Structures are given as structure tokens and as C-alpha cells.
Amino acid sequence: MSNPWIVVAATVAIIALSAFFVAVEFALLAAKRHRLEDAAVTSRSARAALRSSAELTVVLAGSQLGITACTLALGAVTKPAVQYALAPALTGLGLAVWVADVLAFVLALVVVTFLHLVIGEMAPKSWAIAHPERSSILLAVPMRAFMVVFRPVLVLLNRMANWCVRKVGVEPVESAAGGQDPRALRQLVEHSTSVGALDVSYYQQISGALDLEDAVIGDLTRPGRTPTSVSEGATVHDVQDAARRSGHLRILVTTPGAGPTGVVHVRDTLLDAADAPAAVHQRPVFTLDARTPLSEGLETMRRTRNHLAVVTEQGTFRGVVTLADVLRTLFPDAAGPAREVVRTG
């Protein structure tokens, strides 16, 4: 290219493309998936970023292909142009032609490497790491467009790379790990406690939270514990009396031979006469199997707005679980008054 402005424009475009691919690579590695999921509700670009995170290795192959192509393009376009511009100036300083040519080659290589390394790689990398979700969403759509064109090549390259990885005994994955697993977190907490960086009381609370990862709903039921209940056909007075005696606001309604069949919130009975039937305020019981993972059960209770769940095992009543039971698991040393407030919620 004899026109220097064309060379400058081509160099800027190549470095910008390199910066784009570098930013895509580091943004997807650093972005938190749950934040992308939250943004995906209203953002098309966030949904594109989620799709990219689900096929991370293919996207990284595309980024690496783009970065490599930009590096080669700089070497083919910018470096010869810089060398061509410097050689006559160095010859004019009295240097031999071959010395001027070698020195121009070295200086051109340094200039191109500096531009590509600092502007085309390090700067976009720092920006992507500082704003991972924002940069992932911003760059997702053009990256998806690039992958539509080059997907066959990228898939082939990715499969070849996976084959090489498997040959050394490593199973490749398609997406980045979302944070630390409970075992790694437990080791970190234990180490922090042993060196005095974490108070023992906090260690107990965090360990209790980590224990919930493998717990099931049935683990929270206590054998021999009789839930507060009234019989079928109870009056408002019966429900309110049971609430006063127990301190619970949600009272189970039991049917002989069938176990709990409903629940009445004492708040709903406050405006009724004492002898009025409580059945008008009865709601169906929310039931969970004892083998339900605790995290799944709590999510279901939260989504359905149930603070109390009847736990069954093979169709047989096993007990009752409330959100207060979970809080007592997390905070076993909670003060009595605070526990009572939770208990009566």
C-alpha cells in the first residue's frame, strides 16, 4: 500500500478488531451467569451473551481465530509499511543499506508489537475484566454474527482441540464453572478459621449454610414433634385458642385417617364470631416429599408463597417444615425473642 493513510486506516481497523475479540474472550470468562440471566429478561443482547456462555469453548475458538488473524494482518500490512517508511530515513543518517534495513525491520516489529499488545490486547482485557457483564452484553450480538459465518470452521477447530485434550486425560467442558463448589468453599472457610481470619461463630453459620447443599426436606423434620392442629369442623375459637397456646399463626386442620388436609391462618379469623366455622378460611396444605432437595423445596415455597409445608414419606405424614426451621439451622444460637418472632410468622 503506497498511500500512508490507507495503511493507518487499515491498522486502526485491525487493532480495533483484535480488541473486540480479546474483550469478548475475557468478558465471557469473567461474567456471572446469574447476572446475564437477570438481564436476559428484557435484553436481546443479554440473551445472545447467555447463548455464547453456553458454548464457551466454541466462542473462545472464534476469539482466538480472530486475534490470530489480526496479528497476521498487522504483520502483513503494518509492519512492512513501517519498515518501508523508516529505511530511507535511517539510510539518510549515513547507515549502510543493509544496516538501515535490519534496524528498520526491528523498529517496525517493536512498533507493531506495542500497538497490538497494549492497545489491541491489554487495554480491552482490562476493560472486559472490570465490566464483565456489561461488555459481554455489548459485544454479544456482533460476536454471534461472526460465529454464524465461521461456525463450521470453529466447530472443527474446537473438536480437534477437545481430541487433543482428551488424549492427556482431561475431559473438556463447554461452559465456565459458576463459582466454587461447596467442598472448596468449606476448605476455604476452615482455613480462614484456623488462621484466625474468620470468627468461630461465623464459621458455624457458614458451615450450616454449606450443609444445606446436600440436605433434603426430611432432614428438617423432628421425630416425635406434634404440629399444632385442630380437628375438622373446628370453630374460629378453636383456631384462635390453638394459636394462643402454641404461638403459631398457621394452624393445621386434620381429618381422622387422612392426616393434615388444610391450614388456617389465624389472621383470617379475627373478624369472625367465636362459634363461626373455621373451614371457610381453610386453604389446601402445601405438601413436599421428604426426599426433595432442600434448595428445591425452599425455592418452591418461596415461589408459591408458602411459609409452611407438610412433609410426607411414601405417602405417610412425617412432619411439618417452616421457613423458621431453616433459619434455626443457619443460626442455631439465635436469641429466644428473635426465634419466637420467626416461629410465629
Q: What pLDDT is attached to residue 310? A: 85
Closest CA to 249 of 234, 263, 235, 266: 266
Same domain, 198 and 135: no
Task: Indicate whether 239 belongs to any domain.
Answer: yes
Same domain, 125 and 16: yes
Q: What pLDDT is attached to residue 23? A: 93
What rounded mean pLDDT belongs to the chain?
A: 82
Structural domain including 200 reads 182-211
Same domain, 204 and 232: no
Task: Indicate whether 292 belongs to any domain.
Answer: yes
Task: Indicate whether 42 belongs to any domain.
Answer: yes
Which residue type is seen at 268?
Answer: D
Task: Indicate whether 173 belongs to any domain.
Answer: no
Same domain, 127 and 276: no
Same domain, 20 and 135: yes
Task: Indicate whether 33 belongs to any domain.
Answer: yes
Q: What pLDDT is attached to residue 182? A: 63
Same domain, 151 and 265: no
**Per-residue pLDDT at 206 exceeds 80:** no
**Per-residue pLDDT at 211 exceeds 90:** no
Q: How confident is the model at residue 17 (pLDDT cuts 50, 70, 90)?
A: very high
Task: Quote the CA–CA distance of 5 and 40 in Å, as a whole number.
Answer: 42
Number of domains in the chain: 3
User: pTM of the predicted model, to two decimals?
Assistant: 0.54
| C-alpha pair distances (Å), 185 with each of 29, 163, 194, 206, 271 | 20, 32, 14, 9, 51
Q: What pLDDT is attached to residue 94? A: 78
Same domain, 91 and 25: yes
Contact between 318 and 312 under an 8 Å Cβ cutoff? The reply is yes
Contact between 344 and 249 under an 8 Å Cβ cutoff? The reply is yes
Task: Indicate whether 172 belongs to any domain.
Answer: no
Task: Indicate whether 176 belongs to any domain.
Answer: no
Same domain, 112 and 135: yes
Q: How confident is the model at residue 15 (pLDDT cuts 50, 70, 90)?
A: very high
Strand order in the sheet with 308-313: 287-289, 308-313, 316-322
**Per-residue pLDDT at 318 exceeds 60:** yes
Same domain, 28 and 115: yes
Q: What's the distance, CA 62 to chain centroid?
A: 23
Mean pLDDT of 319-339: 62
Same domain, 250 and 192: no
Task: Quote the CA–CA distance of 331 and 62 in Å, as a whole number.
Answer: 48
Q: How confident is the model at residue 67 (pLDDT cuts 50, 70, 90)?
A: very high
| C-alpha pair distances (Å), 341 with each of 29, 132, 162, 307, 323 | 44, 41, 56, 14, 12
Q: Check which CATH number belongs to the domain holding 335 and give it.
A: 3.10.580.10
Task: Quote the CA–CA distance of 320 and 322 in Å, as a whole number.
Answer: 7
Same domain, 156 and 80: yes
Q: What pLDDT is attached to residue 197? A: 74
